């Protein structure tokens, strides 16, 4: 449903929008190349983009490069203007001041996850980048999945390697553009075999040869990018006043009621959501006049839902079916799980009651009926 612009615009809100728009226009744009491991070709893709932008007449400099680069990357660097790094405690640090005074349109930053030595302008390189963006310089940067703070734990489980320096995931999701650098694992192995030996604590670590590990990382990187894109899509739809009705991601809603043993439904919902890398929601009607037994039964389901890391929602509404479906539509649900209740009430026992109405009115979503 399109929200109609019939209500009067709020002048304060308009002003805030204008200011936000001005701030946005004054800021540089951030583009991030996300790779799942060293050697997928992030640096090359970033520099290649820099080269193309330069050809199109943009003023591009290189603000930071990796300590070691492949021959391919070195050849590209030849064609670019590089702002030499500062050396602090024999560690190369991006020279923010020099970049600011040079004031290019675009600055390339290879590797976001570096901690600057004490006494530097900022503690972290991504904070340096933040300053460039605020000053109106656009940045094209690369980052490797394993340095995303929120992903670190999962990645470490796979690689067995601990990384110190990280970038917060919000930095990535707030980027104007994110681009996945995808390549099959064998390519990484080849490239890293070609590349000179890696050294330095912060040097992009080439993950060991096992294809399995690399594939696992690759999957995480793709799903992370998909989530970032999904947020962008939601923001876009919101700006355009379009209600979400898309099916880009599976969203499963388990509807629980006091008289239902929902554990099988929730377990199955979790597994289905995992398989689709989708979301799991559990909803129930907030009814004030439940008996103690009913409350206890409902609580068993909700405990299960919390254990399954579901988003739990208490719904308010007169009509059960309408309330659930309205909620489902507002959340872009693709599958509803419900129990086939067998109350001793004759109307409920016969198909034709609430369940039938739910099935017949649930548009654009599948209804999965669980036996009890």
Partner 1 sequence: MTEFAEPHRRGRLKIFLGYAAGVGKTYQMLDEAQKLKHQGIDVVVGYFEPHGRQDTIAKAEGLEFVPRRTITYRASTFEETDVEAILQRRPQVCAIDEFAHTNVPGSERAKRWEDVQVLLDAGIDVLTTMNVQHLESLNDQVWQFTGIRVRETIPDWVVKQADEVVMVDLPPQALLNRLKRGAIYSRDKARLAAEKFFQESNLVALRELAMRQTAHEVEVRLGAPDETDRPAEDADDRPSPAIAPASDRILIFITDDPSTAALIRRGRRVADYLKADCFAVFIHPQIDLQGLPRAQREAIERHLNFARNLHVETRVLQGENVAQALVNFARLHRITQIYLARPRQSSWPRLLGRNLLGQVVRLARDMQVTIVADRRRGQPPQG
Query: Where do contacts with partner 1 occur on this chain (CB under 8 A)?
Result: 1-2, 31, 176-184, 212, 215-216, 218-219, 222-223, 225-226, 229-230, 232-233, 236-237, 240-243, 245-249, 261, 263-264, 266-268, 271-272, 275-277, 300, 304, 307, 335, 340, 350-352, 355-356, 359-360, 362-372
- Find out whether 330 and 237 touch, Cβ atoms under 8 Å: no
Decide: 15 and 124 in contact? Cβ < 8 Å.
no
Length of the chain: 372
Q: Which is nearer to partner 1, 20 or 307 (CB)?
A: 307
* Cβ 214 to partner 1 shortest distance, Å: 10
Q: Would you tell me the crossing angle of helices 71-78 and 42-55 to the nearest 10 degrees?
A: 20
What's the min distance (Å) between Cβ of 189 and partner 1?
Answer: 14
Q: What tokens were used for 203?
A: 């040097």
Cα–Cα distances (Å) from 82 to 74, 98, 134, 262, 293, in that order, read 12, 11, 21, 61, 71
Q: Which is nearer to partner 1, 184 or 196 (CB)?
A: 184
Minimum distance of partner 1 from residue 197's CB (angstroms): 23
What is the DSSP-derived secondary structure letter of residue 141? E
Residue 134: CB partners within 8 Å, gap ≥ 6? Answer: 27, 28
Cβ proximity to partner 1: between 137 and 214 the closer is 214
Specify the residue, 285 or 297, whose C-beta has the smaller distance to partner 1: 297
Whether the Cβ atoms of residue 30 and residue 133 lie closer than 8 Å to each other: yes
Minimum distance from residue 318 beta carbon to partner 1 (Å): 23
Q: Measured from the CB atom, is 100 or 267 closer to partner 1? A: 267
Tell me which long-range contacts 21-26 makes (C-beta under 8 A, separation of at least 24). 26/136
Least Å distance, CB 313 to partner 1, is 20
Closest CB to partner 1 among 99 and 143? 143
| Helix/strand/coil for 93 | strand
CA distances from 126 to 23, 91, 371 (A): 19, 16, 52
**CB of residue 187 vs partner 1: minimum separation in angstroms?**
9
Q: Which is nearer to partner 1, 131 or 150 (CB)?
A: 150
| Shortest separation between residue 247's beta carbon and partner 1, angstroms | 4
What count of other Cβ atoms lies within 10 Å of the Cβ of residue 249? 16
């Amino acid at each position: 449903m399109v929200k109609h612009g019939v209500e009067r615009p709020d002048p304060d809100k308009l002003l805030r929008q204008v200011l936000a728009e001005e701030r946005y226009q004054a800021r540089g744009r951030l583009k991030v190349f996300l790779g799942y491991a060293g050697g997928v070709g992030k640096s090359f893709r970033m520099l290649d983009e820099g080269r193309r932008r330069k050809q199109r007449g943009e003023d591009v400099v290189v603000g930071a490069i990796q300590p070691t680069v492949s021959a391919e990357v070195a050849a590209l660097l030849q064609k670019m203007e590089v702002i030499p790094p500062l050396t602090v405690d024999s560690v190369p640090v991006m020279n923010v001041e020099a970049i600011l005074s040079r004031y290019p349109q675009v600055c390339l930053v290879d590797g976001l996850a570096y901690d600057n030595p004490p006494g530097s302008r900022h503690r972290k390189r991504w904070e340096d980048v933040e300053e460039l963006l605020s000053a109106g310089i656009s940045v094209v940067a690369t980052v490797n999945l394993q340095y995303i703070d929120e992903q670190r734990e999962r990645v470490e489980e796979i690689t067995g390697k601990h990384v110190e320096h990280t970038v917060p995931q919000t930095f990535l999701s707030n980027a104007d553009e994110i681009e996945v650098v995808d390549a099959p694992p064998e390519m990484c192995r080849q490239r890293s075999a070609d590349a000179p030996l890696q050294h330095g604590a912060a040097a992009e670590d080439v993950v060991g040869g096992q294809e399995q590990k690399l594939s696992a990382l690759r999957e995480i990187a793709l799903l992370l990018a998909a989530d970032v894109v999904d947020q962008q899509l939601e923001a876009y739809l919101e700006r355009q006043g379009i209600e979400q009705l898309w099916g880009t991601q599976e969203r499963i809603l388990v509807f629980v009621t006091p008289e239902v043993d929902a554990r099988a439904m929730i377990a199955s919902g979790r597994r289905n959501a995992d398989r689709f890398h989708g979301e799991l929601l559990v909803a129930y009607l907030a009814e004030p006049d439940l008996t103690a037994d009913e409350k206890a039964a409902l609580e068993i389901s909700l405990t299960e839902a919390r254990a399954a890391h579901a988003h739990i929602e208490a719904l308010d509404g007169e009509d059960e079916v309408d309330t659930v479906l309205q909620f489902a539509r507002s959340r872009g649900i693709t599958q509803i799980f419900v129990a086939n209740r067998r109350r001793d009430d004759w109307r409920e026992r016969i198909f034709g009651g609430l369940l039938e109405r739910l099935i017949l009115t649930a548009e654009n979503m599948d209804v999965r009926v669980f036996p009890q």
